[in-house]
Structure 1
Amino acid sequence: MEPISFPLDDLDDLVARLGRWSAGRGPLYLLLAARFRQLIDEGLLPPGAALPPDRRLAAALAVGRTTVVAAYDTLRQEGRLVRRQGSGTRVASAALPPGPRVRETSNPLFLHLLAAPDGVILLSCAAPVGPPPQLAEAYRTMSLPDADLGYHPAGLPELRTAIAERYGVRGVPTGPEQILVTTGAQQALALLTRLLVAPGDGVLVESPTYPGALDLFREAAAVPCPVTVGPDGIDVTEAVRVMDRQRPALAYVVPRFQNPTGAVLPPLPGRRLVEAANALGVPLVDDEVLADLAFVTGSGEGLPEPPPLSAFGEVIGVGSLSKVVWGGLRIGWVRGPAALVARLARLKAIHDLGCDVPAQLAATRLLGEYGTIVARRVRTLRSGHDHLRAELARLLPSWSCPAASGGQTLWVRLPYGDGVAFAQVALRHGVAVLPGATMDALGGSTRCLRLHFLLPPDVLSEAVRRLAAAWREYAPTPHAPGPGSGPAPEPAPAALNAITV
């Protein structure tokens, strides 16, 4: 029988699936073997799957080849792997038989959330730490409806109205029938993908872009059509060319404080993008989740808010309260044509019959105080941004770290090396970062990292201290071998777990 082909997209995907394998106690080879054992026993590495050669995996994980060899040999002795000269290393046929093909995330952004706390500082997942006081007050004072089933697949009418009114204030007249309330922006994107994208369809994406969207498009077996992002956002000329030639089923953009680069698309190119998408019949999705997070300058003024893309034509807007209020308040929405929203509501009804009603009531209340909540959040973000950049300049001056004008993250470029490999070393020093390659469908951004600045100042300082220690270990010197060329030093377990964040 022919062996089952390796089920992952590439080596970077395997490294991502391995996740936080090194953030524990004990020798690295045992930690690596334990994580491979879990992937094999869960059927995520099926019988016959070919594993990367020793040297190649060692370089990707920034460890010595002996670490990988020892891990593979441990699993071979357990009967989980077969190693033969000339045919490489494969999962043994006696392993768990493969089940139905299900695309699960290999995105470190999500894997870091699924793993139990272990002393690692998460600079990978950008979300506010703790809700504002208005959220607790909204729950404390709310009144639940007496005569109501509690099922509202399209969302509570009062919340749909409040969201629609906010679009009206921004210069985009909107009725409540144009709003679908979702369980966060991630579900909004998931529903749009399920409705509009079929296997093999093209999807225009920015390069790099939000990795959670890439996961959804891959799950749908779509083909990414990446377009580069520069200092002023997506290359609109190239985006129009891609839409004209390939007619993708969907175009997904983050025009304001682009995730991860922080770029802002000016209004005129934005208008051109919308008009081209409308003329070519390509549904254009505007991810507005970060749009309100413009920094306040020393004079107290923020970045002038341009009109949303939906002011220029037919655009599907996706928003959320997770970045302004709290990630635990799972309230997002879709703004679009009423006919599209009705179809999405019918699709959402299949999955969950509607969002949590108390959360929707709280969200309605919070939208009435939205300006105050945004101002408080932005002040905290600006302070964290300045502190993180100052610490990076002090301890890692060779890293390129341009200032952001809003949002929650810095887009950092390493002077040399590979972000995926460095992220492995950083994990062993107790800090998780998001490598640029995991967000780039073009395969670029390999020397980039995305770092957020939402943690308290003392924690950000400790995170940078750990990053600096990781960089000293990772960065080759004239008298030392580079990453992957020899055994990596074992971390001190007590030091790694000394601080639990």
Structure 2
Amino acid sequence: MQSQSGRIGSQMRPIEVVDRLGRWSSGRGPLYVLLASRLRTLIDDGQLPPGVLLPPDRVLAGALAVGRTTVVAAYDLLQAEGRITRRQGSGTRVTGVPTDAPTEEAPVDPLFLDSLEARDDDVLLAVCAAPGDPPPQLAEAFARIAPELGQIADDIGYYPYGVPALRQALADRYTVRGVPTRMEQVLVTNGGQQALSLLAHALVSPGDQVIVEAPTYPGALEVFREEGAVLRGLPVGLEGLETAVRERRPALAYVIPTYQNPTGAVLSALARQRLAAAGVPLIEDEVPADLAFPGEPSLTPIAAYGDTVISIGSLSKSIWGGLRIGWIRAAPPLINRLARLRAVHDLGGNVPTQLAAMHLLPLLDAPELHQTLKARHDHLHAQLTEHLPSWTVPPVAGGQCLWARLPYGDGTSFAQTALRNGLAILPGAGLDITGNSRPYIRLHFRAHPNSLTEAVTRLTKAWHAYHPPPTPTHPRPTIAI
């Protein structure tokens, strides 16, 4: 079978790979990182399609006039990401980045792009942890701002920093939570994902090391990889960060301190102070922080303990995913730099949406949100305990996910069985660069109770039909600590 972008199942001649690489060595960073970055782009764009055999490292090194270690290191990075496989006697094969469920030969796509849109089949989605429908207050908020829009005059509507009133409201919210904040320290973004993208672009160069939790939010891993970062994993809570900073000199560290995605862990005040003093720019992802169950204590953000801490937040997980409102809290010089970057891409966010967000911020503290979260968590946990008693599924005190450990097998191969039974789930392998989360899957409890019940029914059917492979589906990544 032929492809416009390559010959599936055949080995590409070195000259073909060189032609498609183009000016891969232009840029900042070690050569192997630049080479891996360019190959990654070719794979993700389909110019090196799944099934293609890449040239052996020694042959490609000769064609590129670089050392063999450069190609080996680049291949190792791509293998750690799951974009290629390397097997003795079989060569180096592109596995690609699938947009649906994993297959035996393909890696997990952590973002599950297909799952961000409604499907026209009967597959239940237990992948994207976000509210299943918008609250009625959303329509009410847009109705309330209609008079405000009608009164706007002498205003071109471009706000790279965000609408000032919303920036001030977010600053006030941080101040109330124990982090004195001025409006100049806040940038409004199109969701938390754009906040991460802007920060990664501003703070990470190809070859820079970035310390992340293992496991962690997969969207963050993809953002850092896009910038050519070398990811290093530490246990949840970044235990050992101080040592890693001394030995690795990373450019950045990333942590989810409150209701961690996917484990639901919460860092103590002492642990937060320790991270703030570690001596490295630290991104604290507070997107799940507003998802506490009733009665849970409010914890002070890490930003209260250090000036080098950068906080991000979002309304997408608490209100609705279609409400693309996120933000960054940081020192004013960094906010200014990020605003310049942001202006290059979209000049500014949607003004009506930001005005509506002003009326929706109080929902973050409304009891209805937290009561609903607790009820759905309890429902899913009870269903799993009843129907899958051999699984290990610790309850959590907030957030949106349960981190389930399978008694045998691995999450990636089980996800294939689950999909055949009408359920899309997220395997742990796509969330953990150290390879230590293969026995896990992530399940979210944001859906309606009847949908959660149906999901467990399909999950149980899949588990009874599951036959694990004799070996792990993918090789253990080597880029980790």
Query: For the superposition of Structure 1 and Structure 2, which TM-score range results when normalised by the shorter chain?
Result: 0.7 to 0.9
SS of residue in 2 equivalent to 1:234: coil
Partner of 1:491: none
* Matching of residues 303-382 of structure 1 within 5 Å: 303-314=296-307, 315-372=309-366, 375-382=367-374
Q: What per-residue deviation string (whole Å, max 9, x for no partner) do you get for residues 256-305 of structure 1?
A: 1011111001000110110123xxxx211110001121112xxxxx2111
Partner of 1:147: 154
CA gap 1:386/1:198 in 2 versus in 1, 3 angstroms = same
Cα distance in 2 for residues equivalent to 1:199 and 1:414: 36
Gaps of at least 5 residues in structure 1 are 8-16, 18-38, 52-85, 92-103, 297-301, 476-481, 486-501
Cα drift, residue 368 of structure 1 = 4.4
Q: Do residues 471 (structure 1) and 452 (structure 2) align?
A: no
Q: Which amino acid aligns with 1:332?
A: G
Cα drift, residue 146 of structure 1 = 2.5
Cα drift, residue 107 of structure 1 = 2.3
Cα drift, residue 47 of structure 1 = 8.6
* Matching of residues 436-455 of structure 1 within 5 Å: 436-455=428-447
Partner of 1:128: 131
Cα drift, residue 443 of structure 1 = 1.2
8 Å Cα contact 1:403-1:410 kept in structure 2 = yes
Partner of 2:281: 283
Q: Which amino acid aligns with 1:456?
A: H
8 Å Cα contact 1:474-1:483 kept in structure 2 = no
Q: 2:173 aligns with which of 148, 159, 166?
A: 166
Gaps of at least 5 residues in structure 2 are 1-12, 22-39, 56-88, 95-106, 472-481
SS of residue in 1 equivalent to 2:112: helix
Give percent identity, aligned residues only.
53
Partner of 2:47: 43
Partner of 1:30: none
SS of residue in 2 equivalent to 1:420: helix
CA gap 1:370/1:88 in 2 versus in 1, 3 angstroms = closer
8 Å Cα contact 1:4-1:48 kept in structure 2 = no
Cα drift, residue 158 of structure 1 = 0.4
Cα distance in 2 for residues equivalent to 1:405 and 1:90: 43
Q: 2:185 aligns with which of 154, 170, 178?
A: 178
Q: 1:406 aligns with which of 394, 398, 403?
A: 398
Partner of 2:411: 419
Cα distance in 2 for residues equivalent to 1:179 and 1:453: 31
Cα distance in 1 for residues equivalent to 2:216 and 2:333: 28
Q: Do residues 249 (structure 1) and 251 (structure 2) align?
A: yes
Cα distance in 2 for residues equivalent to 1:107 and 1:370: 27
Of structures 1 and 2, the one with the larger relative CO (CA 8 A, separation 6+) is: 1
CA gap 1:466/1:148 in 2 versus in 1, 3 angstroms = same
Cα drift, residue 409 of structure 1 = 0.5
Cα drift, residue 247 of structure 1 = 1.4
Cα distance in 2 for residues equivalent to 1:46 and 1:383: 43
Q: Do residues 195 (structure 1) and 202 (structure 2) align?
A: yes
Q: What per-residue deviation string (whole Å, max 9, x for no partner) do you get for residues 434-492 of structure 1?
A: 111100011110000110011111111111111111111114xxxxxx5479xxxxxxx
Q: Do residues 205 (structure 1) and 212 (structure 2) align?
A: yes
Q: CA RMSD in A?
A: 2.5
Cα distance in 2 for residues equivalent to 1:328 and 1:114: 11
Partner of 2:273: 271
Cα drift, residue 110 of structure 1 = 2.9
Cα distance in 2 for residues equivalent to 1:469 and 1:177: 53
Q: What per-residue deviation string (whole Å, max 9, x for no partner) do you get for residues 325-378 of structure 1?
A: 111100000000011000000000000001101100001121245422xx2111
8 Å Cα contact 2:210-2:229 kept in structure 1 = yes
Cα distance in 2 for residues equivalent to 1:189 and 1:435: 22
Cα distance in 2 for residues equivalent to 1:443 and 1:106: 15
CA gap 1:50/1:467 in 2 versus in 1, 3 angstroms = farther
Normalized against structure 2, the TM-score is what?
0.76
Partner of 1:220: 227
Q: Do residues 110 (structure 1) and 104 (structure 2) align?
A: no
Normalized against structure 1, the TM-score is what?
0.73
SS of residue in 1 equivalent to 2:243: helix
CA gap 1:46/1:390 in 2 versus in 1, 3 angstroms = closer
Cα distance in 2 for residues equivalent to 1:393 and 1:289: 28
